[in-house]
Amino acid sequence: MTQPAVSIRDIHKRFGDFEALKGVSFDIQRGEFFGLLGPNGAGKSTLISIIAGLCRATSGNIAVLGHDVVTDYRAARRSLGVVPQELVYDPFFPVEDLLRLQAGYYGCGRDYWPWIDELLEALELDDKRDASMRQLSGGMKRRVLIAQALVHKPDVVILDEPTAGVDVELRRTLWRFTRRLYEEGHTIVLTTHYLEEAEELCDRIAILNHGELRVLEEKRALLDRHPFRFLKLRLEGRGRLPDDVRALAENINGKEIELRLEQGRHNISDVIESIRAAGFRVQDVRTREPSLEDIFVELTADEEAPA
């Protein structure tokens, strides 16, 4: 078997009496686009901090490309680029110097400068190379932090909520660039609250909940395995919907109703027949397959939905 990009083995993390991670194990394969999802407080950032060597697990092991993140920290860190959630930067450094210096921390010298130029171009920072960080807008600062995480051209790229609060343009630039890295063979790990992004981009999805791994599956299989679909109807007429139909309703908004039908249990024509028999005319019928968001809500139903 080929070596995983990240191998996570029975990770526990305690903060005092609180157990943020309760024995999490899984592998992220080389070259995959991996989605790490979960509601607020599930333990995603804690796990990423442990992978990045910023925080120690209480027990368990993690290796990045075979390098243990504790005993072989430098090699593990060298293989990893983490784009952080928060904006932390030195306000006075010009952008280009900052990136060259950062590359230096990883032992990457002048031969990485062409890559830094590529980063500046791909992230549309070309004309900002001489600007100091404090002169940049929030969106531009974020671009620099993305570049900073990637200066050493790491094999494994972790993006922790990279699009939280960023504008559409930066989001597009970021996805274009991330896709390019993926196509060039980099492993991409994404945490996001925007489930449409995960649905569009990721090959496999892990869902953490209360510090435990709830799901680890190919995205397609996860979407296909959920045997329900939504039926949206526009009705005309007055009266009361039959109770068996009401019981299926996700949403009733005036004359628009959305029903959740389980495969093998609820049949579309029976449902429509029952509505007609109650004196309504059905004006419009639409069906919708469940999205990753619907499945996420179902699997983490005891937690709040993602923001």
The residue with tokens 């526990």 is 12
Residues 136 and 128: beta-carbon distance below 8 Å: yes
- Closest separation in Å from C-beta 55 to ligand ATP: 8
- Closest separation in Å from C-beta 168 to ligand ATP: 22
Of residues 42 and 120, the one with the C-beta less far from ligand ATP: 42
- Closest separation in Å from C-beta 131 to ligand ATP: 30
- Closest separation in Å from C-beta 160 to ligand ATP: 8
Q: Residue 49 class from Cβ within 10 Å (0-12 exposed, 13-18 middle, 19+ buried)?
A: middle
Residues 35 and 219: beta-carbon distance below 8 Å: yes
Of residues 36 and 241, the one with the C-beta less far from ligand ATP: 36
The residue with tokens 């075979």 is 66
Of residues 43 and 162, the one with the C-beta less far from ligand ATP: 43
301: helix, coil or strand? coil
Among candidates 123, 136, 137, 100, which has minimal Cα distance to 178?
A: 123
Of residues 102 and 300, the one with the C-beta less far from ligand ATP: 300
- Closest separation in Å from C-beta 206 to ligand ATP: 12
Task: Read off the tokens for 218.
Answer: 């190919």
Of residues 43 and 81, the one with the C-beta less far from ligand ATP: 43
List residues near ligand ATP by CB under 6 A.
15, 18, 20, 38, 40-46
